[in-house]
Amino acid sequence: MNAYGSDVHQIVAMNLTGDVLSNKKEWEGIASARRDFIERGVLPGVEGWSRPEVVDSWARCLEMGIDPEASRLANPLSDADFAEVMDIYADLIEAARPLIGIIDDLGLSNDYIFELVSRNGVTVLKTGNMDLHQIVAKRSSMNESTMGTNAHTLCMKYARPMQLVGVEHFCSALHGIAAIAAPVFDKNGLVVASMLLTQPLPDEPWTPEYRKLLSHALGFITSICSALEHQMSFQDSLIRIADVDERLEAAEASGKRARHVLDIAIGSSDDPILVLDSSGLIQHASPEAVHLLRTTMADVVGRPVDSVLGLEWPEAFEPLMKSQGVEVTTKAASKVLGVRGNAVRNGAGEALDGFVARISEVQEPKASSSGRSGEVATITFDDILGTSLAIRETVSLAHRYAMTAENVLIIGESGTGKEYFAQAIHNASRPAGPFMSVNCAAIPPRLIESELFGYESGAFTGADRAGKPGKIELAQGGTLFLDEIGDMPLELQATLLRVLENKSVMRLGGKSYRKVDFRVVAATNRSLARMVEEGAFREDLLYRLSILTVNIPPLRMRTGDTMFFAYYYLNECRRKAHEGPVKFKPEVERLLSEFPWPGNVRQIKNAIYSAFYAAVGEEIGTADLPQYLRDGNSAPFADFKGLSYGAKYTPEGVKIEERGVLNDEPVPEQTLSQGNAVEKPGALRIPEEMLRMDAVEESAIRLALTYAQGNVAKAAEILQISKATLYRKIKEYKLK
């Protein structure tokens, strides 16, 4: 016994499983005791905690000179040494593979590492999230002399299961994990390996729920080791059949219990799961569950289950507790949800400790919303997210308009979801009919006419022999969605007006009209009234289209929705990555809330995705945000080299109105710097190739397309040239 043993053994001994500290005070007490032990070699007693094995290990680590603050632990082995270890343990590895497969079936690989560790601390078989191994060198020898106090070394030293939680580890690099290990015995009763489970600690590891989870996990690891020993016994044929049957039954029962508890308490991150406590409060929700409920994690965790799922606790869950095969249905988040689950009971199987609910959407049969060829309208008003009064009032108004047969004009900035509203109006009014969509800004002017009205055989060179119906004709019984209506050529507006008035259409080259029953929903981010004043849009067509008008508020006018969408898309990222940051730092929340978001919901989604994949750790900081957000510049492309502009003016000299609509008002003269360009002529020498007209023209086109996010119509407006000319220039410079 070392010199510090007498101090250690004055504390009351704990049981075999090594119970976790029961409250925060004890946790902080052992952390303080560890610091005192390292600094002065004296461990004061900590009430409720006694681990002589642990403190003996601390003393050995201190004597060996192990750095308790080391950030990188264990010693990597050479390829030859590692290959030798793998060869020695080949039989044990093969026996363990089926059992590791059982662990894989649990779907816990995102939250745990399971390892089979050799006698000298080398991992010979593993599964799980190896990102948790960042502090340990790969292919290394992990023992007390290389990584300090650890569970697998102690379990093999004392030949019994051990668990170490957080501050019980000598090295602070391991304070963020819980490690649970059980020994593997050979036929002679000697310890030859250990099975190790490692898990990141929750924020409050002293809670009764977490203590219970660790207890079941310890039983699970022990049963796996027992099963592994039985497997080796089968291979060697050295244990009597009766003894094998008896121990396998015990191992199977223990394994089932542990698997049941782990499935319930942790579950698979790919499933929509809600974990409830005994009072029906939601303690945990998987990202999939939050997504299914169309909300954020903060709006689910900590709330009563009846306010989230609409099911009374515990009455509605009693059928589920009696049989796992039972499912109850409920209406939540405007969906019909099916709920199954398992009750979590105490060790005696009597008192209810909680419930794990698995939810899924019950798909109701729907009439086809696409009808004939065309876009598929999948969005309903229930899919339009946001909690602000502004957006809910807009949705309510649009829903009332949908119940009429009149045309609807949707006005909103880019990224506000105009097509979402168009599809929702269609699905609320004519769900069985086709939804035909035409983007007036994306189709060359010479093709819009044939796209809308169709054509007969021989109508023009290259026309299909059989002719082709137009989008208006195909919209029979459904909806015609005219997106970017402000970009429709003036000469076609009169024809469209006649079609809307008569509800009949004649194909190009045709001789007769065809009656069509359809509804028009148009959308624009431009001021059509101003275009009427400028002679760019027909006033009578505007009146015909805007019988009912829906103005979608920009994100900056939707109080509370900015952070709703920030956390909504953060959860969406976690669903895809199965890990990553879970919240924003306070300064990031403040920045996100104050930013004007000219690109609206589309822009905030892109920003959150960018920050999520840039972040390291559990929180997103300001350094993870896109540059334009950090600079407070509302123009997403303002950080391009050589450009300096803010929210008011674009580099092309086109002013942006407050609601984000482009116009041709004159602006103050600006000077741009690019490459070797300078603020005043003659200050620096400019390369001659940059002064060629073709180079200047190509650069201007690239900038306009970048600012317009690939929208040719907007880029042409910025450049003050026709779209036909811009298409020709794009082809000439091979820009697309």
Residue 692 within a domain: yes
**CATH number of the domain enclosing 541:** 3.40.50.300
Q: Helix (H, G, I), strand (E, B), or coil: what is residue 517? A: coil
**CATH number of the domain enclosing 326:** 3.30.450.20
**Which range is least confidently modeled, 152-161, 255-264, 385-394, 420-429?**
255-264
Q: CB count, 10 Å around CB of 147? A: 28
Q: Residue 646 — pLDDT band, cuts 50, 70, 90?
A: very low
Co-location of 424 and 515 in the same domain = yes
Taking a C-beta distance cutoff of 8 angstroms, is the pair 412, 554 a contact?
A: yes
**Strand 518-524's sheet: what is its strand order?**
435-439, 478-483, 518-524, 408-411, 548-551
Taking a C-beta distance cutoff of 8 angstroms, is the pair 116, 126 a contact?
A: yes
Domain that holds residue 610: 555-630
Separation of alpha carbons 363 and 375, rounded Å: 21
Residue 304 within a domain: yes
Measured CA to CA in angstroms, residue 106 lies from 166, 262, 455 at distances of 25, 8, 59
- Average the pLDDT over 456-485 and give the result: 84
Separation of alpha carbons 130 and 433, rounded Å: 51
Q: CB count, 10 Å around CB of 42? A: 10
Co-location of 426 and 573 in the same domain = no
Chain centre distance of CA 31? 35
Average pLDDT, the chain: 78
CA atoms within 13 A on the CB side of 504: 8
Residue 230 within a domain: no
Q: What confidence score (pLDDT) does residue 684 get?
A: 40
Separation of alpha carbons 413 and 423, rounded Å: 17
3-state helix, strand, coil in the chain (%, to 5): 45, 15, 40
What percentage of residues in the chain have a pLDDT greater than 70?
A: 78
CA atoms within 13 A on the CB side of 345: 10
Q: Residue 446 — pLDDT band, cuts 50, 70, 90?
A: confident
Q: What confidence score (pLDDT) does residue 671 get?
A: 35
Nearest by Cα to 251 from 227, 274, 230, 273: 227
Residue 227 within a domain: no
Residue indicated by tokens 């976790």: 20
H helix intervals, 675-711: 693-707
Q: Residue 479 — pLDDT band, cuts 50, 70, 90?
A: very high
Token pair for 407: 């045309």
Co-location of 408 and 488 in the same domain = yes
Greatest mean pLDDT range, 11-15, 372-376, 531-535, 669-673: 531-535
DSSP string of 4-31, one letter each residue: THHHHTTSPPP-TT-PPP-SHHHHHHHH
Q: What confidence score (pLDDT) does residue 418 get?
A: 95
Q: Measured at the alpha carbon of residue 474, what is the angle toward residues 473 and 480, in degrees to the nearest 5?
A: 90
Q: What confidence score (pLDDT) does residue 400 get?
A: 95
Residues 6+ apart with CB under 8 A from 61: 68, 144, 148, 149, 170, 171
Domain end among 155, 180, 201: 201
Facing residues of 480 across strands? 436, 520
Taking a C-beta distance cutoff of 8 angstroms, is the pair 497, 633 a contact?
A: no
Taking a C-beta distance cutoff of 8 angstroms, is the pair 103, 114 a contact?
A: yes
Q: What confidence score (pLDDT) does residue 242 get?
A: 46
Q: Helix (H, G, I), strand (E, B), or coil: what is residue 408? A: strand
SS3 labels along 532-567: HHCCCCCHHHHHHHCCEEEECCCHHHCCCHHHHHHH
- Average the pLDDT over 376-392 and give the result: 91
- pLDDT exceeds cutoff 60 at 470: yes
Co-location of 145 and 177 in the same domain = yes
Separation of alpha carbons 371 and 374, rounded Å: 8
Q: What confidence score (pLDDT) does residue 444 get?
A: 81
**Which range is least confidently modeled, 87-101, 254-268, 699-713, 722-736?**
254-268
Q: What confidence score (pLDDT) does residue 364 get?
A: 63
Separation of alpha carbons 38 and 51, rounded Å: 16
Q: Which amino acid is at 511?
A: K
Helix (H) or strand (E) holding 241: helix 241-265
Q: Which residue has the higher pLDDT, 44 or 592?
A: 592
Nearest by Cα to 712 from 725, 697, 695: 725
Q: Helix (H, G, I), strand (E, B), or coil: what is residue 715? A: helix
Q: What confidence score (pLDDT) does residue 250 get?
A: 64
Tell me the helices (H) and strands (E) count for the chain, helix number first: 26, 23
Separation of alpha carbons 287 and 111, rounded Å: 14
Taking a C-beta distance cutoff of 8 angstroms, is the pair 199, 178 a contact?
A: yes
Residue 31 within a domain: no
Q: Write out pLDDT tens, residues 305-316.
A: 998 998 899 888
Exposed, middle or buried: residue 581 (CB in 10 Å: 0-12, 13-18, 19+)?
A: buried
Residues 6+ apart with CB under 8 A from 616: none
- Average the pLDDT over 691-701 and give the result: 71
Q: Residue 107 — pLDDT band, cuts 50, 70, 90?
A: low
Q: Residue 659 — pLDDT band, cuts 50, 70, 90?
A: very low
Helix (H) or strand (E) holding 154: helix 151-158
- Average the pLDDT over 137-157 and give the result: 89
| Domain count along the chain | 5
Chain centre distance of CA 372? 34
What percentage of residues in the chain have a pLDDT greater than 90?
A: 29
Q: What confidence score (pLDDT) does residue 214 get?
A: 81
Co-location of 90 and 154 in the same domain = yes
Q: CB count, 10 Å around CB of 16? A: 10
Separation of alpha carbons 554 and 495, rounded Å: 33
Exposed e or buried b per residue across 50-87, where buried means at least 16 C-beta atoms within 10 angstroms of its C-beta: bbebbbbbbbbbbeeebebeeeebbeebeeeebeebee
**CATH number of the domain enclosing 660:** 1.10.10.60
Exposed e or buried b per residue across 618-634, where buried means at least 16 C-beta atoms within 10 angstroms of its C-beta: eebbeebbbebbeeebb
Q: What confidence score (pLDDT) does residue 527 get?
A: 92
Token pair for 364: 């109701």
Co-location of 414 and 536 in the same domain = yes
Residue 609 within a domain: yes
- Average the pLDDT over 487-509 and give the result: 89
Token pair for 488: 């429709």
Measured CA to CA in angstroms, residue 180 lies from 20, 143, 197 at distances of 12, 15, 5
Co-location of 294 and 184 in the same domain = no
Residue 714 within a domain: yes
Taking a C-beta distance cutoff of 8 angstroms, is the pair 505, 453 a contact?
A: yes
Q: Which residue has the higher pLDDT, 462 or 618?
A: 618
Q: What confidence score (pLDDT) does residue 692 get?
A: 61
Domain end among 614, 630, 646: 630
Q: Helix (H, G, I), strand (E, B), or coil: what is residue 506? A: coil
Co-location of 562 and 523 in the same domain = no
Residue 194 within a domain: yes
**CATH number of the domain enclosing 598:** 1.10.8.60
Q: Residue 236 — pLDDT band, cuts 50, 70, 90?
A: low
Q: Write out pLDDT tens, residues 425-434.
A: 999 999 999 9
Co-location of 336 and 437 in the same domain = no
**CATH number of the domain enclosing 108:** 3.30.450.40
Residue indicated by tokens 């390829």: 79
Co-location of 388 and 526 in the same domain = yes
Q: What's the DSSP call for residue 454?
A: E
Token pair for 586: 């306070």
- pLDDT exceeds cutoff 80 at 253: no
Co-location of 394 and 474 in the same domain = yes
Domain end among 150, 177, 201: 201
Q: What confidence score (pLDDT) does residue 226 get?
A: 86
Co-location of 501 and 582 in the same domain = no
